[in-house]
Structure 1
Amino acid sequence: MASLQEYGMNFNPRMKVNFEGGDLTSDAGLLLYKEFDQHLCGYHTDDHADDLSHEPLLIALMEKERLASQPTISRFNEKANFTTAKSLERIHEILQGRAYAIEPRDQFVLDLDSSGFATSGKQHGANYIHHYAQNGFHPLFCFDGLTGDCLRAELRAGNVYTSRQVVRFMGPVLERYQSWAPKALIVFRGDSGFFAVPGLFELAETKGHKYAIRLKANARLQSAAQAMANQLI
């Protein structure tokens, strides 16, 4: 009796490849691409570019004799400015619009959140973030709560509060979605870091959108909640 070897995918340990039947697919080759991406891509520092500039497979894929070196990439990054960032953001918006035009939806859930990005060295804007106990940036994000897609992101200094400039940040997102689907139900959610921003509530209510912002626990809130609970008993 011959035994067949089973292979596991590093990018997803729960996924196994064997020859025992079960769920079948004619597109299994995509797994090889994903596994390749897991092993070879995802280099996090510019220094990696010096080695990758002569990497034979990448050279073949890009049809180049040599790829960009670390100094070339650094010069490219140095030329990037506010206009570059806005252009990339506009491209992102156009792609979102095309995606929703293909699969129209009648409801959207937009999730607001912030995160801590650790940094090293003395990068401009990097500061100590008490919530994350690290030095870095404190970017603001908006995600599609139904698909997980990142809809917008904004890099901010590390020492700003969670809700800083959130009204200015969310305004264009809500307008864009309302133009795509005027009759759709639009709801946005956020944690307690966004509660103390009356302008955010006004933005939603003025445009007829729904929202759910978490309240931090406090004695007055608990007292009011207990009174309501007692009435239901």
Structure 2
Amino acid sequence: MLSSDAGVLALREVDQQLRVAERLAACIDDPRSQDQVVHRLPDLIRFRLLMIAAGYADGNDAISLRSDPIFKMAQDVLPSDRHLASQPTLSRLENMPDARALVRMGRALVELYCASFRHAPKQIVLDLDDTFDAVHGDQQLRLFNGHYDEYGFQPMVVFDGEGRFVTAVLRPAKRPKGSEIRAHLRRLIRAIRAHWPSTRILIRADSHYCGPLVIDWCRANGVDFILGVATTSTLRRHVTGLEASARARYSATIRMSGASTMVSACEPW
């Protein structure tokens, strides 16, 4: 009857305000017979979210945590009452959403992000990136990545310029293609503009996001972008003169600014 995860109760209050579990559950079609359901879909999602937030990423941890008194209280279950969902039940939960449900869940996360603002901002900056996530089993979508020399996922994540999480897409551990990036951008921008039609959007991303499909789509849809460009000998040959010219103009501006400051300091009050 002891627990070392009292912070889960604080996370429960956050979820009650934001309704994250309820929002995600509404995106999934539950095929179970509702008159025989013991653990509601939002409760299953909330349990899994709290597990991950508390550092229990492995679904097998539910074997012990389902009887943890703090996790029970976070689900409005008395410590002496029935246990929470089992590991097999959570495994079935994670395999329940289809592709359409996953798209709806991604949109729900964008809606949650937009709802965090009191007023529609004039402009937002969206940072797109993918990050390697090593796995150590036969998980679906896992793929061997030669650069990291490991099996894993490479989810595409989006944060805004202030560091707020916007949305994410779980995907195999390989570099995304232009068509995949464009499809993700199309869904993302459509969801944001449904809430903020007049907000200006700037996309920032690394060089492997810089491709004709992505650039053409951004230009056609009024999305500003700052994309990295991988260095090549041809590119270096074209920009060497521009770099030298920019460096010279910058140095001249600094010298003129310093001279003006000295003149102002010598003038009488």
TM bracket (short chain): 0.7 to 0.9
Aligned-residue RMSD, C-alpha: 2.7
On the 8 A contact 2:107/2:188 being kept in 1, the answer is: no
CA distance in 2, matches of 1:86, 1:229: 43
Paired AA for residue 144 in structure 1: D
User: In 1, Cα distance between the equivalents of 2:175 and 2:85?
Assistant: 36
Structure 2 residue aligned with 1:6:
none
Q: 2:193, 2:72 → 1: CA distance?
A: 44
| Displacement after TM superposition at 1:177 (Å) | 3.0
Structure-1 residue corresponding to 2:209: 194
2:155 to 105, 123, 139: 139
Do the aligned partners of 1:46 and 1:73 also contact (CA within 8 Å) in 2? yes
One-letter identity of the residue aligned with 1:173 = L
1:108-164 CA-partner distances (Å, limit 9, x unpaired): 101111111111222232111123332112222222122x22322222222454655
The residue aligned with 1:115 is 131
SS in 2 for 1:91: helix
Q: CA deviation at 1:190?
A: 0.8
Contact 1:129 1:138 in 2 (8 A): no
- Match for residue 92 of structure 1? 109
The alignment status of 1:62 with 2:78, answered yes or no, reads: no
CA, structure 1 residues 76+210, in 2 after alignment: closer, same or farther (shift >3 Å)?
closer
Mapped partners of 2:235, 2:96: distance in 1: 51
Compute the displacement of 1:91 (Å). 2.5
1:202-213 pair list within 5 angstroms:
202-213=216-227
Corresponding residue for residue 232 of structure 2: 218
Q: Deviations over 1:189-214 (max 9, x none)?
A: 1111112x211111111122211111
Matches for 1:140-155 after TM superposition, within 5 Å: 140-146=156-162, 148-155=163-170
Indicate the structure with greater strand content: 1
SS at match of 1:121: coil
Cross-structure match for 1:130: 146
Q: Say which structure is richer in helix.
A: 2
2:244 and 2:96 map into 1 onto residues whose CA distance is 63
What 5-or-longer segments of structure 1 have no aligned partner?
Answer: 1-29
Instruction: Tell me the SS of whatever aligns to 1:135.
Output: strand
- Aligned in 2, Cα 1:179/1:226: closer, same or farther, shift over 3 Å? same
Instruction: Say whether the 8 Å CA contact 1:127–1:157 is kept in structure 2.
Output: yes
Distance verdict in 2 for CA 1:125–1:181, change over 3 Å: closer
Q: Distance in 2 between matches of 1:83 and 1:179?
A: 19
Instruction: Flag as ranges the 4+ runs of structure 1 deviating above 6 A.
Output: none
Q: What is the rounded CA distance, in whole Å, between the counterparts of 1:86 and 1:182 in structure 2? A: 21
Shifted more, 58-67 versus 103-112: the winner is 58-67
Unaligned ranges ≥5, structure 2: 1-6, 12-49, 249-269
% identity of equivalent residues = 23
1:174-189 counterparts in 2 under 5 A? 174-189=189-204
- The residue type paired with residue 75 of structure 1 is R
Q: Is the 8 Å Cα contact of residues 140 and 162 (structure 1) preserved in structure 2?
A: no
What TM-score, normalized to structure 1?
A: 0.72
Structure of greater Rg: 2
**Is the Cα contact below 8 Å between 2:155 and 2:170 reproduced in 1?**
yes
